[in-house]
Structure 1
Amino acid sequence: MLGQIIKTSESDWQVRYERILPHPIHDVWTTITHPDLMQYWFTDIDMDFREGGTIKIYFRDQDKTLSTATILNIQAPNQFSYNWEGEQAVWDLVQIDSATTQLTLTYSKLSTEMVKRVPAGWHALLDRLDATLNGQRMRYPFGAEQDNAVLQQLQVRYANQLSEQYPDQESGKSVVLEKVFDAAPGKIWKALTDKGEMRKWYFDLSDFRAEPGFQFSFPGQGAKGEQYMHRCEVLEAVPERRLRYSWAYDGHRGYSVLTFLLKPEGGGTRLRLTHRGLETFPDGPDFQRESFQAGWTELITKHLDIYLKEN
């Protein structure tokens, strides 16, 4: 489950994560506050564990970057907070029962630029925290994971959340198209989700189901005849309202998310297509934003329009 991005003022943001962990509260407390365990889910840490004490955070990049934080509050085993170079982390633990803990992490005082980068990182760290609690002992290259596929996927998913909640934060690297069709939402939904109808205007899919978790693939061709195999997974499907699936390619790095939003308008339907995460793809001409923009424009404004008028 994604954390929740919240705009707290014109230039300040926070992200709030909640996890239910099947572990006693003292085990969770120890794992988030002891450097010998933090090295597995976070990074190498030196800590003067007292209010006002300093936390030295060592990145595992080539330069072995050092960053520092100041402890603000310690209330064992329920709250631990610190200021990290102007940003603030507050860990709250609540014991649900002797073997279960609710963890809430609120990471705040983020700038508009940092809210586009930070949420995915903390999400990944919380996943690693869970793995550490389950006994895994793995040291990750904190601060040197630019090509990490899992982080790329999380970045795109959080970009989706940010842009849909706050449209003014839409990345200039995304493709966004809108068109009002003289057709009911149900008819457009069928065009987007019925494999037989999709073949008439979209791609030649062997199968498709508008069910979260359903995976599908289909071939495609580049501008110079290059062959690509698309790999996709349905992430969300709300009939006649919203369809979202991932979009990637066999043998090529990158991960993106395609979203169709349907909204009744007048006697027809406004369709909004958003394709985010294009910056994670390679630099070749077929992966440029302009290529996707041209392709989606032709599919939506021409092929889908003709299909709806003829069917």
Structure 2
Amino acid sequence: MSELATMERYGELIEPATLRIQRLLPGPIDRVWSYLTQSELRRQWFAAGDMTMEVGSPVELVWRNDELTDPPGQRPAGSSAENRMQTRITELDPPRKLGIAWGETGAVSFELQPQGGEVLLTIIHSRVPDRARLMNFAPGWHVHLDILEALLTGGRAKPFWDEIHRLKGEYERRLPA
């Protein structure tokens, strides 16, 4: 059985306000890097938004989660079909690391490490301001990475919103209050 099949799929708190989640993905590293940095590829699993590849450059991330899986599942009442966030690149070491500001308070880093023909993607979301947001971010990253993995392996991801709902309960049990 490959490490991809046996790796822990759930995020974990590595500090009280810092979530780490990892996936072992099929390489090569440049392919995975393109899914992080190219708007048209990134929008297929996460959020659109053009990036000028230099530290300090602004980025507007645009989420349209209903478009990520077919079917999308049942979007929660009160959730928008589109969400936007202004951010900027805070760290850049192609094709190994991309850091972005997360709104006004947080930060997210994407780190890529080749492992044979596969690539370990580590996402660290730091300075999460409260548990309510953590309980949105953890299942969100989990499902977005499930979709990325399906894209890279030729698989099919489960309906986005249904998985978010299911995983919220899992993360409530898994992550300490």
CA distance in 2, matches of 1:68, 1:106: 19
Matched to 2:162, the amino acid is: A
* Contact 1:90–1:107 (CA under 8 A) maintained in structure 2: yes
Q: Does 1:46 align with 2:65?
A: no
CA distance in 1, matches of 2:122, 2:30: 15
Name the structure, 1 or 2, with higher relative contact order (CA <8 Å, separation 6+): 2
CA distance in 1, matches of 2:94, 2:110: 11
- Report what 1:33 is aligned to: 37
- Report what 2:163 is aligned to: 150
Q: Does 1:93 align with 2:112?
A: yes
* Contact 1:92–1:103 (CA under 8 A) maintained in structure 2: yes
CA distance in 1, matches of 2:119, 2:143: 19
Matched to 1:71, the amino acid is: I
Runs of 4+ in 1 over 6 A off after TM superposition: none
Of the three residues 149, 163, 168, the one matched with 1:130 is: 149
Q: TM-score, normalised by structure 2?
A: 0.77
CA distance in 1, matches of 2:43, 2:166: 24
Aligned residues: 152
CA distance in 2, matches of 1:137, 1:40: 13
* Contact 1:31–1:133 (CA under 8 A) maintained in structure 2: no
> Relative to total residues, which structure has the larger strand share, 1 or 2?
1
Q: TM-score, normalised by structure 1?
A: 0.45
What's the CA shift for 1:127?
0.8
* Contact 2:26–2:152 (CA under 8 A) maintained in structure 1: no
Q: Flag the structure with larger Rg.
A: 1
Gaps of at least 5 residues in structure 2 are 1-8, 65-78
- Report what 1:7 is aligned to: 15
Identity %: 25
Alpha-carbon RMSD across the aligned residues, in angstroms, is 2.2
What's the CA shift for 1:32?
1.0
* Contact 2:46–2:63 (CA under 8 A) maintained in structure 1: no
- Report what 1:65 is aligned to: 83
The 3 A distance-change label for structure 1 pair 111 and 62 is closer
What's the CA shift for 1:136?
6.7
What's the CA shift for 1:135?
4.5
